[in-house]
Structure 1
Amino acid sequence: MGFGSYDESEQDNQEYDTDFEDDEGVDTAENTHEGEVEYEFTASNDELLDRLKDIKTDENT
């Protein structure tokens, strides 16, 4: 057999372990957070738009 060759009879004999244990994996509720977030913007809309233009210009160079 050359490199990359395989015995086609082995293709049908493959077994997969699909039993998942409850203790395996990630608990998605483990890091849930409750609360509020407040944002205070000190820049004007024009300042933010100018900054966005600068960022887009920097990305294209």
Structure 2
Amino acid sequence: MGFGSYDESEQENQDYDTDFDDDDGVNTAENTHDGDVEYEFSASNDELLDKLADIKEQDQENT
């Protein structure tokens, strides 16, 4: 058999284990969090825009 070839008879004889236990799941409500997030920026908008321009310039130089 060549690369990517398969025996079609193998496809017919596959067994799938579809028995799932309820204990195997993840309780998504287990780790919920209520609260607030606050951010403090020490840089001005102009400083952030200059940094973004530098990053874009470096990215163009690397491509």
Q: Identity over aligned residues, as a percent? A: 66
CA-to-aligned-CA distance 1:24-45 (integer Å, 9 cap, x gap): 1433223221110011222221
**Distance across 2 between alignment mates of 1:26 and 1:16:** 22
**Distance across 2 between alignment mates of 1:12 and 1:39:** 58
Question: TM-score scaled by structure 1?
Answer: 0.65
Query: Is the alpha carbon distance of 1:53 and 1:12 closer, same or farther for their aligned partners in structure 2, counting shifts above 3 Å?
Result: same
Counterparts in 2 of 1:1-61, with a 5 A limit? 2=1, 5-6=6-7, 8-60=8-60, 61=62
Question: TM-score scaled by structure 2?
Answer: 0.64
- Bigger shift: residues 22-31 or 39-48: 22-31
CA RMSD of aligned residues (A): 2.2
Count of residues paired in the alignment: 59
**Distance across 1 between alignment mates of 2:26 and 2:47:** 42
Structure 1 runs not aligned, ≥5 long: none
Query: Is the alpha carbon distance of 1:14 and 1:40 closer, same or farther for their aligned partners in structure 2, counting shifts above 3 Å?
Result: same
Larger fraction in helix? 2
